[in-house]
């Protein structure tokens, strides 16, 4: 089954038609996408300011990582679920958009980094104080997630 066949299933679907033709559905779903992004990127800002050692220094990293992490993941899941609902009614258009493809690649890299490396670092005992490793990890996290964000904006402007 080619990708075109897969996209065609969406265009043929009566259920997805309801979503596709509704006046307000897509902008409202996009709003939920922004709620998810705000939670996720806000959490990343908080955790990384602490990891970089330039902010929130009176708050222990251990407590921050335990408490903020679930909200970051909740935001990520909300963003992915709402993003999927924006994609599904018009898959061919998005799949062909270079900014969208870049965003998906960046998202995979960011998620992999987040779960494979970042989570381990903030849960280790060595995240409380500033170190070269912590600075590098924090910068990678911020760059990756904001790259996903900017690629998302580029979908509408650069194509």
Question: Segment 137-156, which members bind another protein (CB under 8 A)?
Answer: 146, 149-150, 152-156
Kindly indicate which of the ranges 49-57, 77-85, 109-117, 130-138 contains the residues binding another protein, using the contact rule CB under 8 A. 49-57
Give the count of beta carbons closer than 10 Å to the beta carbon of residue 116.
Answer: 9
Task: By CB under 8 A, name the one of 52, 71, 111, 113 that touches another protein.
Answer: 71
Question: Segment 87-126, which members bind another protein (CB under 8 A)?
Answer: 90, 92-93, 96-99
The Cα 41–Cα 56 span in angstroms is 16
What separation in angstroms does the CA of 77 have from each of 14, 34, 53, 85?
26, 12, 28, 12
Contacts of 16 (CB under 8 A, 6+ apart): 10, 88, 89
What separation in angstroms does the CA of 91 have from each of 9, 36, 55, 75?
10, 21, 41, 23
- Nearest CB to another protein, comparing residues 32 and 113: 32
- Nearest CB to another protein, comparing residues 1 and 132: 1
- Nearest CB to another protein, comparing residues 67 and 133: 67
Beta carbon of residue 129, minimum distance to another protein (angstroms, whole number): 17
Q: Is 65 in the site for another protein (CB under 8 A)?
A: no
Task: By CB under 8 A, name the one of 64, 79, 85, 106 that touches another protein.
Answer: 64
Phi/psi for 55 (5° steps) reads: -155, 165
Contacts of 102 (CB under 8 A, 6+ apart): 151, 154
Q: Is 24 in the site for another protein (CB under 8 A)?
A: yes
Check if the beta carbon of residue 137 is closer than 8 Å to that of residue 96.
no
For binding to another protein (CB under 8 A), which residues are involved? 4, 7-8, 11-12, 20-28, 30-31, 34-35, 37-46, 49, 55-59, 63-64, 67-68, 71, 90, 92-93, 96-99, 146, 149-150, 152-159
């Amino acid at each position: 089954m080619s990708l075109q066949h897969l996209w065609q299933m969406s265009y043929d679907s009566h259920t997805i038609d309801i979503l596709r033709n509704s006046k307000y559905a897509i902008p409202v779903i996009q709003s939920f996408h922004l709620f998810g992004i705000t939670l996720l990127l806000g959490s990343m800002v908080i955790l990384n300011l602490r990891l970089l050692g330039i902010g929130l220094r009176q708050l222990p990293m251990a407590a921050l990582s335990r408490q903020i992490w679930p909200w970051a993941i909740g935001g990520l899941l909300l963003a992915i679920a709402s993003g999927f609902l924006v994609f599904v009614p018009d898959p061919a258009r998005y799949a062909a958009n270079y900014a969208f493809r870049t965003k998906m690649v960046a998202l995979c890299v960011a998620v992999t980094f987040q779960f494979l490396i970042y989570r381990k670092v903030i849960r280790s005992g060595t995240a409380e104080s500033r170190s070269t490793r912590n600075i590098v990890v924090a910068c990678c996290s911020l760059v990756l997630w904001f790259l996903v964000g900017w690629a998302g904006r580029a979908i509408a402007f650069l194509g």
